[in-house]
Structure 1
Amino acid sequence: MNTAEGEETPNNPWDSPQQARFRREVRQWCRDHIPRDWRSTQSGVDDAEFVRFQKAWFTELHSAGYAVPHWPAEWAGGPATRGADPVMSVEDQVVLYQELAAHDAPRLVLAFVGIHHAASTLLVAGTEEQRRRHLPAILDGEIWVQGFSEPDAGSDLASLRTTARRTGDSFVVNGQKLWASGARHADWCLLLARTDPDAAKRKGISYFLMDMSTPGVDVRPIRNAVGDSHFCEIFLDDVVIPADNLIGAENAGWQVAQATLGAERGMTMLELAERLAHAGFRRLVETAPVDDPVVADRLAQFEIEITGLRGMCRRVVEGVAGGPADASIVKLYYSELLQRLTDFAAEISGPQAHTALTKPMSSGWESGSWVLDFVGSWEWTIPGGASEIQRSIIAERGLGLPREPSVA
């Protein structure tokens, strides 16, 4: 249960002695540092307060070595418990995410793209100069956004039309990006643009780091069904990007994106699965009418599904019998399970769930404001590849079924 409210999580009998020590360390840190009232104080706040809180919470985690446990120690800094390992062990990362979720820690919503996608891209494909410029800055609070999707290139990302034309030692970029999470707060953008219009769809794309303060960048918030503006459009009008900000080779951006973003899906999904188990399912159990046999049966089914999800995520991050469609399986399973759970929670939570107008800004789509969570859960079946795309990947790459015929 939520130890921030006085409950204690059970010991894990499968922990090694080292893991048990680390779990005790993280638990004590959570008791001492997680704000007990963050849900109430972060409900209905304005953007400035949300950004302030997010950056302060990131600093708090980083000072303990818990903000970027997946980074190599040479870049991560902080007193992470790593021993001689260059990266915190997978086992310890699992323990960390389990305890943060169990203690109802706020989510790193603003830093997410920076510490995962941007960092992975820089570590795998960036130059030494790019890493030295941006990795320390991310730890100092630099915010990133992902500029991939477009109005006519969402699930079929290879159809993107934003262009980058080479002029000397720079590229001039024109186009539009859509569904850019947190763009209005971002300092930098991971940008995909077409640099060779005559090449095959996946062959003429390049990967850039774009300074969001560059002239010609226009960010416009999109107000969604729950009333906030998490997503944004980014309009690019003759935006000049130095050639030094190119990641990987020119026209090889598609391969860079697949390699670097795919590398992060396992651990980020494991963190989300733990949040669903604790902030989502356990919060639901605390308020559900469990004496109703129909409700009790559904809750039991959800617990089985969540246990399966956590197990799958653990296998992916540990590299156990990995397959080419593992990331798609986990993403599809998580997003649709989240929809079912929040839908059921809204159904049984009574009128108060349907009158909630706000939820904590630093929570995810399992905040306990169930109708808002349910509406928000639909986003998870679209970005990062819609559910239909994930099923195609599983069929073709995982099961070896014939590719769908092209409609072109």
Structure 2
Amino acid sequence: MTTAGDRVELTEFRAEVRDWCRAHIPRDWRATQTVATGAEFAAFQQDWFQTLRGAGYAVPHWPREWGGGLPIPRQVVLYQELAAHDAPRLVLAFVAIHHAAATLLAAGTEAQRNRHLPAILDGETWVQGFSEPGAGSDLAALSTTARRDGDDYVTTGQKVWASGAQYADWCLLLARTDPNAAKRHGISYFLLDMRTPGLDVRPIRQATGESHFCEIFLDEVRIPAANLIGAEHAGWQVAQRTLGAERGLTMLELAERLGNAGFRWLLESCAQPDPGGRRPIEDPVTLDRLAIFETEITGLRALCLDLVERHDRDTAGPADASIVKLYYSELLQRMTDFGAELGGVAAHSVLRKPMSGGWESGAWVLDFIGSWEWTIPGGTSEIQRTIIAERGLGLPREPVVR
């Protein structure tokens, strides 16, 4: 129950974060990051992470002994204000501070935590090596193998859709250690040094012109047995803790960014005159669509806040995260599609967008193409609906056609 004292404390904290944002968020970051090279992007991301770290805002969700410990209500305020002030996103640090940290804290050894958590705070970058050409939504179908050889595991295979792998120092890797076990029971979880011999990273050029995704090829790569996370063959269970890090506050941050920068760009686009001199915002149909989007954003924010609170109380339902992911990803797609419609032919001539931004940059065609990152990876919209139906509503599983 929130008391009057709690509300006063949060009001004071919000004012503190607002003052900090006004003083420290680079005013020109969107312009400079639109023309940045890969090296400039990586340097900017490292500098911005350390700026947030200096204020205690980089890893508020971590335990206090590791530099976090910010209460959930304060974390909510922090992400709301960072979004409201159009702060750059922590693109390169995302896997490290969420997925890697959650995995290490839940299943890592003391030596693994002591080695990597301080290094992450100093800028160590991570990539997630889960998906494969034949194992995307059905992750348990992965075929990368790891066989024990003395004090090492010798690993061979291919990973794909590895975001930011060209910048990564370490990789969270799933590999099959028991080829004869059932799909989910023969997988192990490893920490892989990206400088290991036999490893090849190949960026994939996307339709937007960026190379955010990468392929990782492993040819007899030796991983020390000390880098095994959890028990051998028990990697599937550990991976669920990794994927669970995407829930709650990370979704709330994305929802706030969509409701701030995303909706603001829509309003600005609607205020621009078309070739005939008419402004879309003067059209009642356009106003209706804007009103619908604003209502949907309000609903998304409420869903995210509810998920955060339920997750904190350990009362979240088995399908709650799927509901939020489905709602966010399809709303993002509809909004960017509408923005591309408003932009018309001219929107197709915008070929660059800020590298440290999200999927709501106002470069509408690029944003729309990028929005498909959310309705496909991490479980397609169809899979999310199945989870909601079966785990949330208790509907029977579809019969298997033989």
Give the TM-score category using the shorter length.
over 0.9
Instruction: Work out the CA distance in 1 between the residues paired with 2:16 and 2:269.
Output: 30
Q: CA deviation at 1:400?
A: 1.1
- Is the aligned partner of 1:291 residue 2:273? no
**Contact 1:193/1:205 (8 A) holds in 2:** yes
Any runs of at least 4 consecutive aligned residues in structure 1 with deviations exceeding 4 A, and if so which?
A: none
Counterpart-to-counterpart distance in 1, 2:12 and 2:118: 29
1:224 to 191, 206, 209: 206
| Alignment match, 1:326 | 320
Partner residue, 2:64 = 73
Question: Per-residue deviation at 1:357?
Answer: 0.7
Q: Is the 8 A contact 2:129 2:173 kept in 1?
A: yes
Could you tell me which runs of 5 or more consecutive residues in structure 1 were left unpaired when the two chains were aligned: 1-12, 78-86
Structural mapping, 1:299-378, within 5 Å: 299-319=290-310, 322-378=316-372
> Is the Cα–Cα contact under 8 Å of residues 45 and 92 in structure 2 kept in the other structure?
yes
Kindly indicate whether the alpha-carbon contact (under 8 Å) linking 1:309 and 1:334 is maintained by their aligned counterparts in 2. Answer: yes
Alignment of 1:125-274 (within 5 A): 125-274=107-256
Instruction: Provide the rounded CA distance (Å) in 2 between the counterparts of 1:377 and 1:61.
Output: 27
TM-score, normalised relative to structure 1: 0.92
Are 1:114 and 1:143, in contact at CA under 8 Å, matched by a contact in 2? yes
Contact 2:269 2:339 in 1 (8 A): no
Report the counterpart of residue 124 of structure 1 in structure 2: 106
* Counterpart Cα distance in 1 of 2:232 and 2:135: 20
Alpha-carbon shift at residue 281 of structure 1 (Å): 1.0
Structure 2 unaligned regions, length at least 5:
271-279
Amino acid at match of 1:64: A
Per-residue deviation, 1:19: 0.6
RMSD of aligned Cα (Å): 1.5
Which of 392, 403, 407 is matched with 2:397 structurally?
403
Partner of residue 56 from structure 1, selected from 20, 37, 47: 47
- Please say if residues 188 and 211 of structure 1, whose CA atoms lie closer than 8 Å, have aligned partners that are also in contact: yes
Q: Give % identity.
A: 74
CA contact (8 A) 1:206 1:250 kept: yes
User: Secondary structure of the equivalent of 1:403?
Assistant: coil
Structure 1 Cα separation of the partners of residues 218 and 371 of structure 2: 29
Q: Does 2:21 correspond to 1:30? A: yes
CA distance, structure 2, for counterparts of residue 29 and residue 296 of structure 1: 35
- Deviation of 1:121 after TM superposition, in Å, equals 0.4
1:260 CA displacement: 3.3
Task: Name the TM-score, length of structure 2 as normaliser.
Answer: 0.94
User: Offset at 1:205?
Assistant: 0.5
Partner Cα separation in structure 1 for residue 400 and residue 142 of structure 2: 17
Cα separation, partners in 2 of 1:14 and 1:348, compared to 1, 3 Å: farther
Q: State the match for 1:4 in structure 2.
A: none
Cα distance in 1, alignment partners of residues 197 and 397 from structure 2: 43
Which whole-Å deviations, capped at 9, do the CAs of 1:209-245 have from their partners, x for residues lacking one? 0000000110001000001100000000000111111
The within-5 A match list for 1:88-127 is 88-127=70-109
1:384 to 378, 383, 387: 378
